[in-house]
């Protein structure tokens, strides 16, 4: 089964949502999702990601003036049952009064499709999702992972124009989650279906999406590929939301950032655009930093805590002039004890600098 023929691009123009109590859930939003693209909406709870998904689905309607297009078709005022979407809910929303096959066939049943077509397509789905032996089971006899697969099969059997997934893996355990997200990603790619995927799990977002839109308080903070949002965050919020980030505040001193008795060498692009003595904030990821001997380093700290994580050791350092503990990932099999004095090296190219220079704190 290939869905490319029915898939369409999704366009949101000035889509805004105000709830009946007056809360502005979504600020005017412009968004274009290409045909066949998987876009992940990522953000903390209450950021508007589920509202955006429900607006695209037709479960909510946007405020006057907004427009939602599926390809060329304006669906702004069309109810969900006529939008030709497929949706996978967080709680799966499987019908307890129907067995697995009946659940999967439901979309075809309400369309009045023939018995033969229903049987053929359900069989196809059961095979695709490895559910053949569960065809006649009740929903309450399935595990979480199986329910999730039934929900997905039910959503795509009607060959929808877009597929919407609302935190479909959040109810599963960590191991199953990892396996299923790879499976779902491969399936969506094979079907070539336009998909919008909501999650609050950044790892899941990076594994699933062609692009990730990070939402914060009802608006998109940044949209881009996983590499773009991880390596070049455009705001403190994005930098802190995706992965772990260490912050270093100081003054420009020659070609380095200086604070207390520490120095961090800066890349030329930064120091050349700032004046001597300017206040700067630089950030670095734990995996980009390296521990070295205390004596040789320009940036020094003392081990406060270390956690063995299997593939690496996360070392937490207290560094003079830095308010919070500095997190460093150490990939060598080396032990650190509390109080050990160590040096820190940050390659200048790995330093993250926010583009909106000119503010008081940030260059």
Partner 1 sequence: MKKGMYFYLQLAFTLLVCAFLIVPIFMSITAGLTNNYFVGVKSGLTLRWVEQVWRMYADTIWLTMGIALVTTLVNLCIGVPCAYYLARTRSKLSAFLDECLTLPIAIPGMAIALGLISVYGGISEFRMSWLFILVGHVIFTLPFMVKSVLAVLQSINFRVLEEGAASLGASFWQRFFHVIVPNCKTGIVSGVLMTLTLSAGEFNLTWMLHTPLTKTLPVGLADSYASMRLEVSSAYTLIFLGMILPLLIAAQWLNRKPKRMA
Q: Is residue 147 within the footprint of partner 1 (CB under 8 A)? A: yes
Helix, coil or strand: residue 216: strand
> How many other C-beta atoms are found inside a 10 Å radius of the C-beta of residue 266?
23
Tokens of 21: 């109590």
Give the burial class of 106: count Cβ atoms within 10 A of its Cβ; 0-12 exposed, 13-18 middle, 19 or more buried: middle
97 binding partner 1? (CB under 8 A):
yes
Binding string, residues 104-143; x marks residues near partner 1 by CB under 8 A? --xx-xxx--------------------------xxx---
| Dist CA 357 CA 20 (whole Å) | 39
For residue 93, state whether it binds partner 1 (rule: CB under 8 A). yes
Residue 152, CA distances (Å) to 14, 38, 176 in order: 30, 15, 15
Please give the Cα distance from 163 to 61 (Å, whole number): 18
Helix, strand or coil for residue 68?
Answer: strand
What does each C-alpha distance from 310 to 30, 177, 274, 327, 344 come to in angstroms? 43, 20, 41, 16, 22
Contact stretch for partner 1 (CB under 8 A) within 91-99, 212-220, 256-264, 290-298: 91-99
Give the shortest CB-310-to-partner 1 separation in angstroms. Answer: 36
Residues that bind partner 1 (rule: CB under 8 A) add up to a total of 31
Among 10, 12, 94, 319, the residue binding partner 1 under the rule CB under 8 A is 94
- Measured from the CB atom, is 77 or 91 closer to partner 1? 91
Q: Single out the residue of 24, 28, 35, 59 in contact with partner 1 (rule: CB under 8 A).
A: 59
| CB closer to partner 1 out of 126 and 164 | 164
User: Considering beta carbons, is residue 120 or 341 the nearer one to partner 1?
Assistant: 120
Q: Which is nearer to partner 1, 64 or 82 (CB)?
A: 82
Q: List interacting residues with partner 1 (CB under 8 A).
A: 57, 59, 79-82, 84-87, 89, 91-97, 106-107, 109-111, 138-140, 147, 154-155, 158, 164
């Amino acid at each position: 089964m290939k869905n490319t023929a029915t898939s369409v691009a999704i366009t949101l123009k000035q889509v805004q949502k105000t709830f009946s109590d007056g809360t502005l859930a979504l600020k005017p939003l412009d968004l274009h999702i290409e045909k066949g693209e998987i876009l992940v909406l990522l953000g903390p709870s209450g950021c508007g990601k589920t509202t955006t998904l429900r607006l695209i689905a037709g479960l909510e309607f946007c405020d006057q003036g907004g427009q939602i297009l599926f390809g060329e078709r304006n669906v702004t005022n069309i109810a969900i049952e006529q939008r030709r979407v497929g949706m996978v809910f967080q709680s799966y929303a499987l019908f307890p009064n129907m067995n697995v096959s009946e659940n999967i066939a439901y979309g075809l049943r309400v369309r009045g499709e023939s018995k033969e077509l229903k049987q053929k397509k359900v069989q196809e789905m059961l095979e695709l999702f490895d559910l053949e032996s569960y065809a006649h089971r009740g929903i309450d006899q399935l595990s979480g992972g199986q329910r999730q697969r039934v929900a997905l099969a039910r959503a795509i059997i009607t060959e929808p124009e877009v597929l919407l997934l609302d935190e479909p893996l959040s109810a599963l355990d960590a191991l199953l989650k990892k396996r299923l997200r790879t499976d779902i990603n491969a399936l969506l790619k094979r079907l070539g279906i336009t998909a919008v995927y909501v999650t609050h799990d950044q790892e899941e977002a990076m594994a699933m999406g062609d692009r990730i839109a990070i939402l914060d308080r009802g608006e998109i903070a940044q949209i881009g590929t996983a590499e773009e949002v991880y390596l070049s965050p455009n705001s403190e919020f994005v930098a802190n939301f995706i992965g772990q980030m260490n912050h270093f505040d100081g003054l420009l001193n020659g070609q380095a950032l200086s604070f207390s008795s520490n120095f961090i060498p800066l890349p030329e692009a930064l120091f050349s655009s700032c004046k001597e003595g300017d206040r700067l904030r630089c950030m670095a990821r734990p995996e980009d930093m390296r521990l070295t001997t205390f004596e040789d380093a320009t940036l020094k700290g003392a081990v406060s805590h270390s956690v063995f994580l299997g593939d690496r050791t996360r070392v937490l350092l207290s560094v003079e002039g830095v308010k919070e503990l500095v997190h460093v990932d150490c990939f060598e099999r080396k032990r650190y004890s509390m109080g050990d004095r160590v040096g820190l090296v940050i390659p200048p190219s790995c330093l993250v600098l926010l583009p909106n220079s000119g503010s008081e704190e940030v260059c």
